[in-house]
Amino acid sequence: MLESYLVRGLKAGLVAGVALGIFVAVLANPMIAAAEGLAGDHGGHHASDGSGGHHAGEGGHGHGGHESASGVLGVVSAPLISVAGGVFWGLLLGVVTFGLAFYFLEPAIPGTGAIKSAIAAAGGFVTVSGAPWLVLPPQPPGVEQALSTDARLWLYAGMMLAGLSACLLAGYAYTRLRDRGRGHALAGAAVPFCLLVGLAFVLPANPTTQSLPAAFVAAFRAQVLFGQAIVWTLLAGTHAWLSAEGDGTTTTGAVGSVPSDPRPSSD
C-alpha cells in the first residue's frame, strides 16, 4: 500500500519536475542571465558575508560570468544542470509530499478525492516555499542581502519547520472543530497561519540593496511564484488524476459489469 503511494508520488513528481525543468530552461535561465547583465556594472552577485571569497579564489569563476560558467562535469553548462535541478526538485516534492506525507496523513486531511490532493499541495507549498518567503522573498541574482548566507539558510530551514507545524496544527484544529460547524472549523484552522505571519514579523529583517530596477525584481518574484504555483498545481492535478484512475480500475475490475445506465437522467 505504501509502495503504491510512493509510486504515485513519484509519477506526479516526474510530471511536475519536467514542467519545472522546461520552466527553468525557457523562462528562468534567460531571466537570470538578464539579471546578471543588469547587475553586471556593480560586480554582479557578490555575497556580503565572506563566501564571496570562494568565488574570487576560483579564478574568474565569479557570478558575473554565469553564462559561460561550466557545471560540475565541466562539460555540461550550468544552466543545463539547473534544468536537471528543476526536474529533481519536482521529483523530491512529489515523493515526499504525495508519496510519504500523503500516505500517512491522508485520513486526517479534510475533504475527498481531488480536494485532498489540493489541500496536500497547498500545505506543501506553504511548508517549502510560502512560509520561508515571508521572511526571505525570492531574490534575483545581484541583490545584496544584509543577513549572512548561513543565517539565511537557518532562517529558511526554520521557517519550513514553522510552516509545516502551522499546516499540521491547522489540520488538527479543523478536524477537532468540524462538529461545531464549518465556520468554527475554518476559523480554528486560520489561527496557526496568523501565528505564522506574526512570527515572520518578529524574526530579524533582511534589508537588501540592489542596482536592479524595482520593476525587474517584482517581475522576477512573480515569475518564481508562477513557477512554483505550476509545480504544485501539476503535482495535485496529476496525483488526483492517478488516484481517481487507480480507484476506477479497481472498482470496475471488482464489479465486473458496467452499471446499466452510465448517464443518469439528472436534468
Partner 1 sequence: MATANTVHGRIESARPALTTPRVALGLALLAIVGFTLLFVQEPLVHDSLHNARHAAGITCH
Q: Is 162 exposed, middle or buried (0-12, 13-18, 19+ CB in 10 A)?
A: buried
Instruction: Name the minimum Å distance from CB 58 to partner 1.
Output: 6
Stretch touching partner 1 by CB under 8 A, among 114-122, 132-140, 176-184, 232-240:
132-140
Q: Indicate which single residue of 44, 64, 132, 192 sits in contact with partner 1 (rule: CB under 8 A).
A: 132
Q: Is 8 in the site for partner 1 (CB under 8 A)?
A: no
175 or 187, CB closer to partner 1?
A: 175
Q: Is 79 in the site for partner 1 (CB under 8 A)?
A: yes
110 or 187, CB closer to partner 1?
A: 110
Q: Is 228 in the site for partner 1 (CB under 8 A)?
A: yes
Q: Is 69 in the site for partner 1 (CB under 8 A)?
A: yes
Q: Is 134 in the site for partner 1 (CB under 8 A)?
A: no
Buried b / exposed e over 118-152, threshold 16 CB at 10 Å, is bbbbebbbbbbbbbbbbbbebbbbbbbbebeeeeb
Q: Is 157 in the site for partner 1 (CB under 8 A)?
A: yes
Q: Indicate which single residue of 41, 54, 115, 204 sits in contact with partner 1 (rule: CB under 8 A).
A: 54
> How far is it, in rounded angstroms, from Cα 62 to Cα 261?
68
Instruction: Name the minimum Å distance from CB 151 to partner 1.
Output: 10
On whether the CB atoms of residues 29 and 82 are closer than 8 A, the answer is yes
* DSSP-assigned states of every residue in 180-247: G-HHHHHHHHHHHHHHHHHHHHHSPP--EEESS-HHHHHHHHHHHHHHHHHHHHHHHHHHHHHHHHHH
Stretch touching partner 1 by CB under 8 A, among 81-89, 184-192, 235-243, 251-259:
81-89
Buried b / exposed e over 222-254, threshold 16 CB at 10 Å, is ebbbebbebbbebbbbbbbbbbeeeeeeeeeee
Secondary structure (3-state) at 167: helix
Residues that bind partner 1 in the complex, under the rule CB under 8 A: 1-3, 20, 23-24, 27-29, 32, 45, 47, 49, 51-52, 54-55, 58, 61, 63, 66, 69, 71-72, 78-79, 81-86, 88-89, 91-92, 95-96, 103-108, 129, 132-133, 136-141, 149, 152-153, 155-157, 221, 223-225, 227-228
